[in-house]
Structure 1
Amino acid sequence: MIEFYSAATPNGYKVAIALEEMALPYRLHHLDLSANEQKRPEFLAINPNGRIPAIVDTDNHDFAVFESGAILLYLAEKTGKFLPADPNARSVVIQWLMFQMGGVGPMMGQANVFYRYFPEKIPAAIERYHKEGRRLLEVLNTRLAQVEYLGGNEYSIADMATWPWVRIHDWSGISVEGLDHLQRWLEAVGNRPACQRALQVPPSASQSDDERAKAVSKMVTR
């Protein structure tokens, strides 16, 4: 059993996708970030950084893993899925995983902050992160013109990590117009049943009360 600590964020959805794709049994612990539940001592004992997501693998002596990229690698190695055995192919997948961790997530996250949440509009900051976000999406588009998925022609944890961030490009204020290969990939990954299920774990605040209730009723263990 995987004890899964998460909230409705792109980083949380990465791990939800992996758990669903790998068909691992898990139990969701939904942390209310607005109430700072991620800063409580019991969670800090799992992740000293006080951020979601995190997991505890009860089948491995209650081994705890934090940082979303590290969790994806751990789960891929645990199951032998979505990470190639060949050293070179494995390295390519990890390179694109790190591209998301070091680039796509942080830059689009900053775009979200200044475009959506910051109490005052700072045009220079918004422009900076919109430009850098668009540049990173163009890098992805160039890659996806060459291969079907980010790691090559097989779906991998690199796609699981990147898709939850790219799918919210509108919310970040970043256009994908003209990025046809990226749009093709967005649709292909989004059509995967595991991805669709993962977006209910936990349900986002934009869902209706009925949708949230139905999702919660399904998410105890899967």
Structure 2
Amino acid sequence: MADLGAFPITRKWPAKHPDRIQLYSLPTPNGVKASIMLEETGLPYEPHRVAFERNEQLSGEFLSLNPNNKIPAIIDPQGPGGKPLPLFESGAILLYLAEKSGQLIPRDPAKRWEAIQWLMFQMGGVGPMFGQLGFFHKFAGKDYEDKRPRDRYVAESKRLLAVLDRQLQGRAWMLGEDFSIADIAIFPWVRNLVGFYGAAELVQFAHYSEVSRVLAAFVARPAVARGLEIPKSEG
């Protein structure tokens, strides 16, 4: 059995199953990338909830694993060379789990880079822009009298949705017929934009029929439905 005692985070979140991948997360758009990937691949894992309401992401134990105090983060007790591997950043985790499992990333080198390309599109565009729109539409920013910051992110979010809509024309998923890490990266953010952020009308989401179609197919996948609820809420 793997010994994870060298990792301070396990003192705050003890591993009941230290032979499994340890997931430290919340069901946010970035957090569920990891849980959906784990559910889709079938890799054994143990989830731990990092409670933002108690600022657990700022605890010394969590910072020992991710100095950037963001979720998700993982420890794989059977990492490269059979040694435990700590890892943070959701995009890096998706790539690592795809490589470890041999799933959800094309083997063909050109298609593999296409998948990575769309993963980076999410990391550098969709996530930051949708997240800023959420701030200015739903959270503290909604009280700002000057709506120019909000409208800047509305315009950019609409532009990104249009890019996605064009890419999805005639395709089941981002890369074509095969579901991949590109879809796992992108569609939790689309779901959050029109759901939790309540910005569907603001970005005229009804205009993006291809994105809407694929979002519906995404949330209908059993592994996605499970991953969207992990880690479970307390109580």
Q: Could you tell me the TM-score, scaled by structure 1's length?
A: 0.89
Structure 2: 5+ residue stretches without partners: 1-19
- Match in the other structure for 1:87: 109
1:176 aligns with 2:202: no
- Match in the other structure for 2:126: 104
- Match in the other structure for 1:152: 176
1:8 aligns with 2:33: no
Contact 2:49 2:232 in 1 (8 A): no
Structure 1: 5+ residue stretches without partners: 205-211, 214-222
Amino acid at match of 2:101: T
Partner Cα distance (1:168, 1:5) in 2: 20
- Match in the other structure for 2:166: 142
State the Cα distance separating 1:87 from its structure 2 match: 0.6
RMSD of aligned Cα (Å): 1.4
Identity of aligned residues (%): 46
Contact 2:25 2:31 in 1 (8 A): yes
Contact 2:134 2:193 in 1 (8 A): no
- Match in the other structure for 1:36: 55
Amino acid at match of 2:99: E
Larger relative contact order (CA 8 Å, sep ≥ 6): 1
Partner Cα distance (1:38, 1:66) in 2: 13
3-state DSSP class of the match of 1:55?
strand
Contact 1:5 1:53 in 2 (8 A): yes
State the Cα distance separating 1:49 from its structure 2 match: 0.7
Q: Which has the larger radius of gyration?
A: 2
Number of residue-to-residue matches in the alignment: 206
Contact 1:169 1:175 in 2 (8 A): no
Contact 2:72 2:90 in 1 (8 A): yes
State the Cα distance separating 1:132 from its structure 2 match: 0.6
Contact 1:104 1:136 in 2 (8 A): yes
Amino acid at match of 2:139: Y
- Match in the other structure for 1:117: 139
Q: Could you tell me the TM-score, scaled by structure 2's length?
A: 0.84
State the Cα distance separating 1:24 from its structure 2 match: 1.1
Partner Cα distance (1:172, 1:102) in 2: 22
3-state DSSP class of the match of 1:147?
coil
**Residue by residue, what CA displacement relative to the aligned partner does 1:39-94 show, whole Å, maximum 9, x if unpaired?**
11111111111110000001222201100000000000000000011110001000
State the Cα distance separating 1:203 from its structure 2 match: 4.1
Contact 1:108 1:172 in 2 (8 A): no
Partner Cα distance (2:180, 2:174) in 1: 8
Regions of 4+ moved over 2 Å:
119-122
Structure 1 residues 172 and 109, CA, compared in 2 at 3 Å: closer, same or farther? farther
